[in-house]
């Protein structure tokens, strides 16, 4: 299974009835690409390239797969390298000694062009943290990348990497009810324990998760807090920062804790409107898990059919069709 269970949703109403009470909207979707994977090769995480959304980096048991769209073709990163994430269009990986390697997406060999910047770490590498790559300064390096910056000349300056706290994280205090920025400044004070937080692409809005299906939205400019529809189990930002895509996990039997299928909904923040997304027939009725959304708005999901016959469908890239 996709590992989504309904036991943590015990305080919610019946999700099937709740979903049926929400009128379908005028949003359909189409299948852009399918990436078949073996059931034993399920990804721990997957990320679109932030600068070239035609490339997807997939982490599978410390191994890396690079997916090219729209063909859905896959290329494997060398076995001794573990994928870490994207630095622009460059693939970041670690070798067995823990040193970083920057790979060109064209041939997956060490790149000759690099850029300073940062990347968010997948959950397997460190929650609420990121790795920043910058020009080396004395005493600043934790792990030096053996790659010279073009044009550095005799200075032999190299990129260095160090961990940095993310731009919005839950403060590690006893109550865990405060969200802070990388410098420790308070962004939001909750009225109970916070289990997760997500910053909008424009960095102005905070999506705060209180547990079960309770989510609130905090606008950092207006200081206004809004409670989101409680029928949604998980939310993901779309790139316009004013729209969310929500997942409703459904079970065919009340006593059945594992998810049988997933419905997707679009929530427009301005109109507070929730519309169901029409899914392609290939994934309709399957259990879905959103892994990432590209800067172009393409949605990467992991899919598994539970009934009538179990079948792992691999990764799917969906495009929303607004009418």
pLDDT of the chain along its 323 residues, tens only? Answer: 444 333 333 333 333 333 333 444 579 999 999 998 888 889 999 999 999 999 999 999 889 999 999 999 999 998 789 999 998 888 988 888 888 888 999 999 887 666 667 777 776 665 667 777 766 555 444 455 555 544 443 344 566 676 777 888 898 877 899 999 888 899 999 999 999 999 999 999 999 999 989 999 999 999 999 999 999 999 999 999 999 999 998 876 655 567 889 999 999 999 999 999 999 999 999 999 999 999 999 999 999 999 888 999 999 999 999 87
- Cα angle 136, 158, 76; round to 5: 120
Could you give the CA distance from residue 315 to residue 304 in angstroms, rounded to a whole number? 9
Peptide bond into 308 cis (omega under 30): yes
Strands 205-211 and 196-199: antiparallel
CB 239 within 8 A of CB 201: yes
Peptide bond into 70 cis (omega under 30): yes
Q: Global pTM? A: 0.83
CB 55 within 8 A of CB 66: yes
Dihedral sign (CA 104, 110, 113, 117): positive
């Amino acid at each position: 299974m996709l590992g989504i269970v309904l036991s943590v949703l015990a305080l919610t109403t019946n999700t099937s009835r709740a979903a049926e009470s929400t009128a379908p909207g005028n949003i359909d979707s189409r299948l852009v690409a399918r990436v078949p994977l073996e059931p034993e090769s399920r990804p721990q995480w997957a990320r679109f390239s932030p600068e070239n959304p035609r490339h997807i980096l997939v982490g599978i048991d410390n191994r890396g797969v690079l997916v090219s769209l729209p063909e859905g073709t896959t290329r494997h990163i060398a076995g001794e390298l573990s994928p870490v994430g994207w630095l622009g269009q460059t693939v970041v990986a670690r070798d067995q000694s823990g040193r970083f390697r920057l790979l060109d997406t064209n041939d997956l060999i060490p790149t000759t062009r690099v850029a300073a910047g940062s990347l968010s770490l997948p959950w397997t590498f460190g929650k609420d943290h990121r790795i920043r790559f910058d020009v080396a300064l004395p005493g600043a390096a934790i792990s030096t990348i053996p790659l010279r910056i073009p044009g550095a000349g005799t200075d032999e300056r190299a990129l260095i990497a160090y961990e940095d706290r993310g731009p919005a994280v839950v403060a590690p205090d006893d109550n865990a009810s405060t969200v802070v920025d990388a410098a420790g400044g308070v962004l939001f004070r909750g009225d109970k324990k916070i289990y997760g937080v997500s910053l909008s692409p424009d960095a102005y809005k905070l999506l705060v998760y209180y547990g079960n299906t309770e989510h609130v939205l905090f606008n950092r400019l207006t200081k206004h807090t809004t409670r989101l529809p409680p029928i949604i189990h998980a939310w993901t930002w779309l790139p316009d920062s004013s729209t969310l895509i929500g997942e409703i996990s459904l079970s065919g039997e009340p006593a059945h804790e594992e998810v049988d299928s997933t419905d997707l909904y679009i929530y427009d923040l301005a109109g507070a409107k929730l519309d169901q997304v029409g899914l392609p027939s290939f994934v309709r009725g399957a259990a879905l898990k959103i892994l990432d959304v590209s800067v172009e708005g393409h949605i990467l999901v992991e899919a598994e059919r539970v009934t009538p016959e179990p079948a792992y469908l691999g990764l799917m890239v969906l495009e929303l069709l607004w009418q």
